[in-house]
């Protein structure tokens, strides 16, 4: 196993870090700990939560709500933002409504645009697309000032699919542009130079929009598939379901050439903890079962495991706990956990 510290040292140009995995496994905690660590190393770091329900405020035990980038108190170099889904969705809705209206006008279709807009925004994927769009904004614009960006988003799988789609999308767009060009009258084609033809094509607001989107996608995709700049970390607990989710995610991410940072195994009961609680039947059972799952992780994901985090007595709440978890995550000797995979 390559330890997380070594992995990071080998990637000095890393800028974008994502955490993925099943709900409740510790993605937010892992993201917070990584961001805290980067900031401690002196790197100006932004942690962005793009979840419908946020938990950064709880992890750092301070109010980080409101959708603005804010400094995390008592953690130099660390900034955080909890993106408000409702704001993003509303802005996106207005934007789309305007696009649809413009297009209908341009295409000379005299119908009410509202039903079209309603269909677009009631699509269940709408909120996710809006959040993805916001993430792209942070990567390409708002995040420019930061040396490292850590994204806490439940929608890793969807982000990956959208990135995958951008290839098909690009091909389709090329065809659209071609047919647009061909549709321009011969007069226009003869009287304009090549650059001007493209400008004419762009007068179609829908096509101009698609082109703009495609440019953004291409830019963000280039970043997200670059192993120097980007790493996706997957978090699992020593339990069947989270392990299979991570295994599936890793396959998918690799199919799209997205760089896998590795696996963080969270919530491992320490051997000494189990010894101390000899009469705690529940814990003893958990500890017994954990051994099998740790072995499973070792077999399925072994070389990708970057670090183990112990199960704490309470949830991670407040900077002291984050600091403590950070020390555990970056502890070079992981023998306490590795020993458990061998029993
Ligand atoms: N190692 C751990 N020990 C104790 N509690 C933990 C640990 N890791 C996470 N938690 C707690 O479990 C809950 C879920 O963690 P969270 O990071 O929010 O999961 P996710 O973001 O994957 O849904 C939180 O209350 C968190 O504080
Ligand atoms: Mg979370």
Pocket test for ligand 1, best of 25, 26, 32, 313 (most atoms within 8 A of CB): 26
Ligand 1 within 6 A of CB of 316: yes
Ligand 1 centre to CA of 134 (Å) is: 25
Among protein residues, the one with the nearest Cα to ligand 1's atom 11 is 315
Atom 14 of ligand 1 has which residue's CA nearest to it? 24
The CB of 311 under 6 Å from ligand 1? The reply is yes
As a whole number of angstroms, the distance between CA 194 and CA 108 comes to 27
Determine whether the shortest distance from the Cβ of 267 to ligand 1 is under 6 A.
yes
- Look up the domain containing 320 and give its range: 4-85+131-342
DSSP 209-272: HHHHHHHHHHHHHHHHT-TTTEEEEEEE-SSHHHHHHHHHHHHHHHHTTPPEEEEEEEEEPPHH
Task: Please check whether residue 93 lies inside any domain of the structure.
Answer: no
Cα of 153 vs centre of ligand 2, distance in Å, is: 7
Q: Which residue has the tokens 């020390």?
A: 327
Cβ 58 under 6 angstroms from ligand 1 = no
Helices 126-140 and 205-224 cross at an angle (nearest 10°) of: 70
Look at residue 31 and tell me if it is in a domain: yes
Question: pLDDT tens for residues 299-331?
Answer: 999 999 999 999 999 999 999 999 999 999 999
Identify whether 252 is part of a domain.
Answer: yes
* Atom 5 of ligand 1, residue of closest alpha carbon: 315
Range of lowest pLDDT (131-145, 167-181, 256-270): 167-181
**Which residue has a Cα nearest atom 13 of ligand 1?**
24
Q: Is the CB of 55 under 6 A from ligand 1?
A: yes
27 lines ligand 1 (CB under 6 A): yes
Whether 260 and 250 have beta carbons less than 8 Å apart is answered as yes
Determine the distance separating the centroid of ligand 2 and the alpha carbon of 183, expressed in angstroms: 49
Tokens of 102: 């413009």
Q: Residue 313 CA: which ligand 1 atom is closest?
A: 4
Q: 155 falls in which pLDDT band (50, 70, 90)?
A: low
In whole angstroms, what is the distance from residue 92 CA to residue 11 CA? 35
CATH number for the domain including 70?
3.40.50.300
Q: Which residues share a beta bridge with 233?
A: 19, 262
| Overall number of domains in the chain | 1
Asked if residue 278 is part of any domain, the answer here is yes
In a domain, 176, yes or no: yes
Element (H, E) at 7: helix 4-9
Mean pLDDT computed over 99-120: 78
pTM check: above 0.75: yes
Residues 6+ apart with CB under 8 A from 247: 300, 301
* Alpha-carbon span 78 to 59, nearest angstrom: 14
Cα–Cα distance list, 340 to 25, 45, 289 (Å): 20, 34, 11
pLDDT digits 0-9 by tens, 16-66: 999 989 889 999 999 999 999 999 999 999 999 988 788 899 999 999 988
CA 10/CA 6 separation, integer angstroms: 6
| 90 in any annotated domain | no
C-alpha closest to that of 135 among 212, 207, 47: 47
User: Counting atoms of ligand 1 from 1, which one is nearest the CA of 310?
Assistant: 1
21 C-alpha to center of ligand 2: Å?
10
In a domain, 119, yes or no: no
Sort strands 45-49 and 78-82 into parallel, antiparallel or unpaired.
parallel
Distance 250 CA to ligand 1 centre (A): 21
User: Residue 139: pLDDT band by 50, 70, 90 thresholds?
Assistant: very high
Query: Which numbered atom of ligand 1 lies nearest the CA of 26?
Result: 17
For residues 64 and 305, the answer to whether their CB atoms sit within 8 Å is no
Is the CB of 25 inside a 6 Å radius of any atom of ligand 1?
yes
Tell me: the pLDDT tens digits for 255-289?
Answer: 888 899 999 999 999 999 999 998 999 999 999 99
pLDDT over 90 at 141, yes or no: yes
Residue 71 is assigned to a structural domain of this protein: yes
In angstroms, how far apart are the furthest CA atoms of the chain?
Answer: 89
Q: How far is CA 205 from CA 96, 121, 134, 267, 338, in A?
A: 12, 19, 22, 51, 58
């Amino acid at each position: 196993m390559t330890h997380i510290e070594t992995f990071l040292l080998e990637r000095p140009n890393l800028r974008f870090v994502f955490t993925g995995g099943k709900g409740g496994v510790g993605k937010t905690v892992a993201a917070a700990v990584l961001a805290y660590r980067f900031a401690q190393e002196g790197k100006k770091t932004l942690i962005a939560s793009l979840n419908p329900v946020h938990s950064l405020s709880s992890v750092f035990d301070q109010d980080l709500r409101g959708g603005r980038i804010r400094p995390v108190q008592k953690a130099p170099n660390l900034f955080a933002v909890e993106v408000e889904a409702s704001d993003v969705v509303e802005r996106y809705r207005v934007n789309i409504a305007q696009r649809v209206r413009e297009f209908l006008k341009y295409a000379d279709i005299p119908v009410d645009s509202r039903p079209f807009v309603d269909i677009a925004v009631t699509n269940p994927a709408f909120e996710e697309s809006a959040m993805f769009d916001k993430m792209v904004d942070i990567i390409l614009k708002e995040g420019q000032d930061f040396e490292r960006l850590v994204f806490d988003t439940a929608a890793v799988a969807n982000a990956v699919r959208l990135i995958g789609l951008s290839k098909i999308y690009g091909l389709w767009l090329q065809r659209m542009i071609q047919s647009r060009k061909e549709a321009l009258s011969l007069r226009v084609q003869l009287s304009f130079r090549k650059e001007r033809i493209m400008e004419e094509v762009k007068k179609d607001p829908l096509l101009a929009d698609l082109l703009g989107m495609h440019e953004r996608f291409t830019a963000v995709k280039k970043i997200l598939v670059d192993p120097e700049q980007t790493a996706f970390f997957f978090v699992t607990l020593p339990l069947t379901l989270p392990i299979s989710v991570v295994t599936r995610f890793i396959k998918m991410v690799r199919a799209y050439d997205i760089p896998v940072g590795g696996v963080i195994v969270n919530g491992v009961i320490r051997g000494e903890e189990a010894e101390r609680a000899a009469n705690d039947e529940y814990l003893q059972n958990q500890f017994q079962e954990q051994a099998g799952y740790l072995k499973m992780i070792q077999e399925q994901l072994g070389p990708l495991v970057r670090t183990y985090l112990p199960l704490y007595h309470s949830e991670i709440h407040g900077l002291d706990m984050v600091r403590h978890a950070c020390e555990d995550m970056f502890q070079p000797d992981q023998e306490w956990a590795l020993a458990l995979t061998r029993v």
